Amino acid sequence: VESVIVAIDGPAGTGKSSTSKAVAAQLGLSYLDTGAQYRAITWWMISNGVDVSDPAAIATAAGKPSIVSGTDPAAPTITVDGMDASGPIRTQEVSSKVSAVSAVPEVRTLITELQRSIAATAATGIVVEGRDIGTTVLPDADLKIFLTASPEARAARRSGELKGADVAATREALIKRDAADSSRKTSPLAKADDAVEVDTTELTLQQVIECVVTLVEERR
Ligand code: C5P
């Protein structure tokens, strides 16, 4: 295969981003963080006074911002209308509102088209991480991975990233977001039938990376 497409899905805090970036860098592939795109559109909606509790308002505004993702795994970027959004998309406000925005079908249609065009133009191939990549965005991916971990492990990792955030509060917020993402009608968080499930609870990041790299090489 000249070009390899890898889909990595799973709930928050399972190590998707760290794993996806490292695998892409090791194998010389592009990298796309689709969660960052949903965060970017959510940040634009909040900044522009769109009522994110109103799906009709979200649908109407969905096409307005221009979201551009840089796909270098060593330095991924995200801009909204030309502005660097990599900082503002990681706030707790965005994290708590992104599920409501990403559940709106008009938002998903636009972002999914963007994701497919980015994947189609990646020369050597791409690692795409998200929630519905294996099931909906790239159902013909060469390799699909579904990462899982216990809620405790996920909350501990995420509060480590947030430097000292309360583990119990982080755990509740993650569980709430995963429940919303898994139960929405359009393209919910789900494991594709042909995905390889990797439980990362007892694994180091390095072990997860090695496991995925081996699986990619087997399919190349
Ligand atoms: O991966 P991350 O936690 O940054 O994703 C933020 C949010 O974006 C998810 O909670 C989900 O609501 C949405 N998302 C999605 N589909 C994807 C990736 C992310 O709906 N493929």
* Domain spans in the chain, listed from the N-terminal domain onward: 4-219
Using the 8-state DSSP alphabet, how is residue 205 labeled? H
On average, the pLDDT of the chain sits at 95
Which residue's alpha carbon is at the smallest distance from atom 7 of ligand 1?
35
Task: Quote the pLDDT of residue 164.
Answer: 66
Using the 8-state DSSP alphabet, how is residue 90 labeled? G
Which residue's alpha carbon is at the smallest distance from atom 11 of ligand 1?
99
Q: How far is the CA of 38 from the centre of ligand 1 (A)?
A: 6
Using the 8-state DSSP alphabet, how is residue 28 labeled? T
Q: Is 35 annotated as a binding residue?
A: no
pLDDT tens across 140-182, in order? 999 999 999 999 999 988 887 776 678 888 899 999 999 999 9
Q: Phi first, then psi: give them for residue 89, nearest 5 degrees.
A: -75, -10
We find that the CATH architecture of domain 4-219 is 3-Layer(aba) Sandwich (3.40)
Mean pLDDT to the nearest integer, 65-94: 97
**Nearest 5 degrees, angle CA 184-CA 208-CA 187?**
15
Which residue's alpha carbon is at the smallest distance from atom 15 of ligand 1?
131
Q: How far is the CA of 130 from the centre of ligand 1 (A)?
A: 6
52 contacts 164 by C-beta, under 8 angstroms: no
Give the nearest ligand 1 atom to 177 CA: 10
Task: Quote the pLDDT of residue 160.
Answer: 78
Give the nearest ligand 1 atom to 137 CA: 21
**Nearest 5 degrees, angle CA 137-CA 219-CA 135?**
20
Task: Say what percent of the chain tops pLDDT 70.
Answer: 99
Q: Is 153 annotated as a binding residue?
A: no
The pTM of this model reads: 0.96
How far apart (Å, rounded) are the C-alpha atoms in residues 54 and 37?
20
Residue type, 97: K
